[in-house]
Structure 1
Amino acid sequence: MSINKTNRSSLRYQSIKNDGYIMERLEELAKQNPVEGFWKCYGRIRNSGTIVNHKKLHRLYKKMGLPLRRKIKKRLPARVKEPLAVPAYFTQTWSIDFYE
């Protein structure tokens, strides 16, 4: 306890965070470039001069429902390996000559 009978925690400055500007900027970027993901938006915001932590920006990005779905790669069917035909005679083989 201090001299004026107040708690230490109440004496410290607690700023009120206003994320409205950042959220508006994210919304703009998502509308302009709908196929770009979080890191592109983060880079554009940083390049515009706004300094914001990437973890905070990602939290807001997810909160706004902007994350893109990850593209799933198509799985190609396994190719059937066919054995090479072995010629019975040496004259049964084909050859190609490449020249200029």
Structure 2
Amino acid sequence: MKCLLLALGLALACGIQGIDVPQSVQNMDLQKVAGMWHSMAMAASNISLLDAENAPLRVYVQELRPTPEDNLEIILSKWEDNRCVEKKVFAEKTECAAKFNIH
């Protein structure tokens, strides 16, 4: 619960800052999406995937880190074993600049 309140507080405090959003996904620059991220909302077609603290889709993206090969390392936090834990997910680039395969 503390992790959720901290994430919500940070999202509200940092959500006011201006954001430079790429206009075209074909020319997406990974350096522009890199850095700290703050979750503003979560959505799912099945609410049971989000409603419990340990629900499978209840993750908070913290940071996106581009690799030299233009892949992405995604740092996120998730509630496990009664504590907030950090996870790393690797996203491999595809032929489409704005789509990645998650491993």
Alignment TM-score > 0.5, same fold: no
Q: Which has the higher helix share?
A: 1
TM-score scaled by length of structure 1: 0.19
Which has the larger Rg?
1
